[in-house]
Amino acid sequence: MKILISIDDTDDAQSKGTGEIAEMLGQALVDRGLATVGRVTRHQLLVHPDIAYTSHNSSMCFEAEISEDALDEVTRICADVLTAESVEAADPGLAVVVLSSLADAERLMAFGLEAKQRVLTKDEAYARAEEFGVHLSEHGGTGIGVIGALAGAGLRLTGSDGRYKGKFRLRGDENDVATVADIKREGVGAVRTLEGETLGDDERVLVADSAKLVLKDGAAVLLVRPLDAAGAAAWCPVDRKSLRSF
C-alpha cells in the first residue's frame, strides 16, 4: 500500500537539513527491506513572525510503498530515526498517511494549503489528524513540527506544490541537447514553461547542467525558458531564482 511520510522542524542553523533527514528516513526503510520510496519533495509553508521555524519554514515529504502489515514498524522506525537525527533545539513532527484509508483527502489538502496562508496551532493539527485517520506524532522540543508535517503531507497530496529535493541529471547528446521525449524517458513527467505551456516531445532542450524538478499536476515537471540565441536547442531549464515560488 502507498503511504506518505512527512516531517518538519528537525534542524537548527548548523545541523543537517530536514530534507537530508527525510532521505535518511527513506533509506532506513529501504535498508530494512520494508519499503520502496520515491523522491522527497519540499513544501514551503507560511513565513510569519508568530511561527517558530529555523530559516525557511518548509516541510519534506515522500511517498513509500509498503506491505500492510509493516505500517507499525515503518512508523516506529521513522520516529526513531527522526528522534535520533533531529537536533536538541528542534521541535520535530512526523505524519504518516495511508492513502487507501485516508478519511478525507480534500480536507487534508485544504489543511496544507491553509498552512501557507495562516498561522495554525498544534491542537488544530492533532484534531485534523485524528479526523483524517493520519498518524501524527512529535519527537522533541515543543513538537510544533506536527503542524508542518501534516501540512506537508496535504500539500504533497495536492500534486501541485513544492519542488523535488536534489538535482536531476539529464542526459543529452554530444551538444548537451535532449528532446522532451528523451527527458521523459528519464522519469520526468512533463516539460513546461513557467507560463504553463507544455512542450511537445520533439522540442529540444539544452541539458548541460543538472536540473531541478517541481511537483505539478501529480508529476515531476522540468521548467524551461526559451534560449535567447537560436541553436541546437530552443529551450533550457529555468534558473534557481525562478524556482523560489515553488
Partner 1 sequence: MTPLRDTDAGPVFVGSVDVEPDVAAASAVAAGCPSFSLDEDDECYIERDAPNCFNCRGRRWVPDGFTCLRGGLRP
Cβ at position 212, least distance to partner 1 in Å: 8
Cβ at position 128, least distance to partner 1 in Å: 25
Cβ at position 57, least distance to partner 1 in Å: 7
**Sequence-distant (≥ 6) Cβ neighbours of residue 216 within 8 angstroms:** 159, 160, 190, 192
**Structural contact between residues 29 and 121, judged by C-beta atoms closer than 8 angstroms:** no
Pairing, β 190-193 against β 219-226: parallel
Cβ at position 32, least distance to partner 1 in Å: 26
Cβ at position 238, least distance to partner 1 in Å: 12
Q: What are the backbone dihedrals phi and psi of residue 85, each rounded to the nearest 5 degrees, phi first?
A: -95, -20
Output 60 or 70, the one with its CB closest to partner 1.
Answer: 60
Binding site residues, partner 1, CB under 8 A:
13-14, 17, 19-20, 42, 47-49, 53-57, 163, 165-167, 212, 240-241, 243-244
Pairing, β 2-8 against β 58-65: antiparallel
Output 13 or 230, the one with its CB closest to partner 1.
Answer: 13
Output 194 or 232, the one with its CB closest to partner 1.
Answer: 194
Alpha helices in 32-94 (DSSP H): 71-85
Output 21 or 70, the one with its CB closest to partner 1.
Answer: 21
Output 2 or 167, the one with its CB closest to partner 1.
Answer: 167
Closest to 7 in 3D by CA, of 110, 117, 103, 17: 17
Output 118 or 244, the one with its CB closest to partner 1.
Answer: 244
Measured CA to CA, the distance from residue 25 to residue 83 in angstroms comes to: 11
Closest to 222 in 3D by CA, of 231, 203, 232: 203
Cβ at position 47, least distance to partner 1 in Å: 5
For residue 33, what is the DSSP state? T
